[in-house]
């Protein structure tokens, strides 16, 4: 059964499959199962930060760890094709902007900076605060994941 692992580098399937077996087929099989679960669990931690342990920072680091596992097992080129560097920097900037703009919206609606109770998204201040906290956690998670990945790409480039 031919796989398309070899297509990325332009080499034949034969060499690449032999290299994959040398690189460790146990590692590849485990990583194929684990990476989607790690990414899904990172998303779970992000959205359930208000009712259990978790939140923005933990979720960002777990998501980055999932992509780093993918990069270590399948090759840095494949990870750079699937999670490109420029998209990561864009996501990082969007994350910080979400946080800062939520605060500014609170200013526009009459409260202090970052006062979630003044936002008109809930029926009462406690509900607005809960939704504001979730938006802010999404922003934090995006930024942390993107920056951890960007730093990893910079260091993992190899000697040149």
Judged by the rule CB under 8 A, the positions of this chain that interact with other proteins are: 49-58, 61-62, 64-65, 68, 72, 85, 89, 92-93, 95-96, 99-100, 103, 113-114, 116, 125-127, 129-130, 132-133, 136-137, 139-140, 143-144, 146-148, 150-152, 154-156, 158-160
Nearer to other proteins among residue 17 and residue 80 (C-beta) = 80
Beta carbon nearer to other proteins, 16 or 128: 128
CB of 96 to other proteins, least distance (A): 5
Greatest alpha-carbon pair distance for the chain in Å reads 66
Calculate helix-pair angle for 13-47, 56-74, nearest 10 degrees: 170
Element (H, E) at 141: helix 125-155
Q: Which is nearer to other proteins, 3 or 50 (CB)?
A: 50
Q: Cα separation of 86 and 57, whole Å?
A: 21
Closest approach of other proteins to the CB of residue 110, in Å: 18
Nearer to other proteins by Cβ, of 21 and 126: the residue is 126
Minimum distance from residue 14 beta carbon to other proteins (Å): 28
Q: In degrees rounded to 5, what are phi and psi of residue 152? A: -65, -40
The least distance separating other proteins from the CB of residue 64, rounded to whole angstroms, comes to 7
Contacts of residue 98, Cβ cutoff 8 Å, sequence gap at least 6 = 135, 136, 138, 139, 142
Q: By C-alpha distance, which of 63, 127, 138, 50 is closest to 98?
A: 138
Q: Is the Cβ of residue 12 or residue 130 nearer to other proteins in the bound state?
A: 130
Backbone region of residue 158 per phi and psi (left: phi > 0; alpha: psi in -120 to 50; beta: other values): left
């Amino acid at each position: 059964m031919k796989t398309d692992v070899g297509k990325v580098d332009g080499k034949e399937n034969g060499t690449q499959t032999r290299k994959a077996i040398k690189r460790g087929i146990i590692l590849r099989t485990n990583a194929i199962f684990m990476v989607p679960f790690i990414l899904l669990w990172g998303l779970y931690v992000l959205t359930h930060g208000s009712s259990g342990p978790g939140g923005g920072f933990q979720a960002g680091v777990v998501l980055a760890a999932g992509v780093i596992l993918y990069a270590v097992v399948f090759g840095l080129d494949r990870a750079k094709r699937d999670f490109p560097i420029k998209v990561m920097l864009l996501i990082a900037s969007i994350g910080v902007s979400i946080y800062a703009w939520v605060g500014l919206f609170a200013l526009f609606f009459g409260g202090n900076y970052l006062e979630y109770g003044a936002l008109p998204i809930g029926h009462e201040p406690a509900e607005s605060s809960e939704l504001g906290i979730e938006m802010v956690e999404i922003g934090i998670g995006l930024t942390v994941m993107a920056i951890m990945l960007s730093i990893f790409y910079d260091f993992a480039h190899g000697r040149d």
